[in-house]
Amino acid sequence: MKALSQKRRHPLAAVALLLMGLLVTGGLYAAASSVNEAQAASAYSASDVEEGDKLFLANCATCHGMNAEGTEAGPSLIGVGAASVDFQVGTGRMPMQMQGPQAQVKPVQFDDDQIRQLSAYVASLGAGPAVPEAEYLDTTLGNSGKGGEIFRVNCAMCHNAAAAGGALTRGKFAPSLEGVDEKHIYEAMVIGPQNMPVFNDSNISPEDKRDVITFLKEIEAQGSPGGAKLGSLGPVSEGLFVWTAGLGIIIAFTIWLTSRPS
pTM greater than 0.85 = no
Instruction: List the beta strands (DSSP E) in 74-154.
Output: none
Chain segment 17-35, per-residue pLDDT in tens: 677 777 777 665 555 444 4
Which of 184, 49, 70 has the alpha carbon at shortest distance from 176? 184
In the chain the domains, ranked by start, together with CATH numbers, are 37-125 (1.10.760.10), 134-236 (1.10.760)
Cis, bond preceding 95 (omega within 30 deg of 0): yes
The DSSP string of 8-75 is HTSTTHHHHHHHHHHHHHHHHHHHHHHHHHHHHHHTS-HHHHHHHHHHHHHHTHHHH-TTS--BTTB-
Chain segment 89-124, per-residue pLDDT in tens: 999 999 988 888 888 999 999 999 999 999 999 999
| Binding residue ranges for heme c | 60, 63-64, 155, 158-159
- Quote the radius of gyration of the chain (alpha carbons, Å): 26
CB 66 within 8 A of CB 57: yes
Specify the 3-state DSSP secondary structure of 173: strand
| Binding residue ranges | 60, 63-64, 155, 158-159
